[in-house]
Amino acid sequence: MSPLLARLRKPWHFGVMLLAIAAVDLLRVHVWEPAGWANLLLAWLFFVALGMHLPRLRLVPRRLLAVGLMIALAAAVGLVIAGPYSAALISTDALPAISNLAPPTMVLVLAGIAQVMVLLLAWPGLIRLLARDRVWVPVALFSSRAMGMYLLHMLLLALCVGVVMTAGLRPIALSLGWWALHALVLAIIVGFAWVLTPALMKSGSGSAALVARLIPGGPAAKLRGGPVSLWLALTALAGLCLLMISESGLAAALHVRPVLGIPYLPVVAVVILMLVAALASKPARHDIRDGF
């Protein structure tokens, strides 16, 4: 997808993508709710394409960035007030409206655009700040594990919530005890995620390498050198598996259930993801000095 997204250079290209996201929202609300999951792909692709042009976006005058920020925020607030959208950017039962997160909505996309504008406005100041080693080094160190910590945080949060509920800890909302409990849980999650991230990243690459070794060399080599259409199909299949996993989870791994009208077996989805990852990874070069 990257070569295709790199061709999206003109403002109207991104305008068409925004119209497509809005159209999917309309289908979700008025025609068929599962159609909204198409925005999981469209919203991600929109910001991937936007990120590819970050160097060009940095040349946009600050006045235009400020205007874009205000328009994006005003549009998001307007949609929440006048439309069926939740006021929260996360999925929650506390606010009775359609989720902005699962699947993404136009409100979430507008909020993301506003964040991009804020980043671009702050860019010159960030460059000056990060020019100092004492600032850049800790930021770079944290960033080296940020993705792994992101992948772990929901699992650790679920475990902490389970412990808190089992212990019967229910402080009054916004009380001193409530804030102290949340600070403790946050510290535990960040600490464990920081420690576990290196092992997680090694296990992920190790699993893909192990699966790659189990695949016969001839077929694997043919697939790696296959046509673009084949890899587009494999990527689409892996994306569909990832979408179904994010929608229905991995519980009851051997139980078939419908997700978006498609039969879903968690264990098969995981195997497909691992196979595609293994095929996509470059085969390791064998060095005789490594032994056999």
Structure confidence by residue, pLDDT tens digits, 177-223: 999 999 999 999 999 999 988 887 777 666 666 666 666 655 555 55
Distance, CA of 63 to CA of 70 (rounded, Å) = 11
Domain carrying residue 7: 1-131
Residue type, 162: G
Region at 252 (left for phi over 0; alpha for psi -120 to 50; beta for the rest): left
In a domain, 250, yes or no: yes
Looking at 79, 111, 131, the residue that finishes a domain is: 131
Angle between helices 38-52 and 11-30 (to 10 degrees): 160
pLDDT score at 219:
55
Q: What six digits make up the tokens of 162? A: 């389970």
Cα end-to-end span (Å), the chain: 38
Distance, CA of 254 to CA of 178 (rounded, Å) = 39
Distance, CA of 64 to CA of 107 (rounded, Å) = 21
Q: What six digits make up the tokens of 155? A: 């699992």
pLDDT score at 74:
96
In a domain, 201, yes or no: no
Q: Are residues 219 and 116 in the same domain?
A: no
Low-confidence ranges of the chain (pLDDT < 70): 1, 204-226, 228, 280-292
In a domain, 280, yes or no: yes
* Per-residue pLDDT tens digits for 158-184: 889 889 999 999 999 889 999 999 999
Looking at 131, 161, 192, the residue that finishes a domain is: 131
Q: Are residues 5 and 127 in the same domain?
A: yes
In a domain, 94, yes or no: yes
In a domain, 208, yes or no: no
CA 271 to chain CA centroid, nearest Å:
20
CB half-sphere exposure, 136, CA atoms < 13 A: 8
Query: Longest Cα pair distance anywhere in the chain, in angstroms?
Result: 68
In a domain, 206, yes or no: no
Tally of structural domains, the chain: 2
In a domain, 224, yes or no: yes
Q: Are residues 108 and 224 in the same domain?
A: no
pLDDT score at 126:
94
In a domain, 32, yes or no: yes
Looking at 97, 131, 165, the residue that finishes a domain is: 131
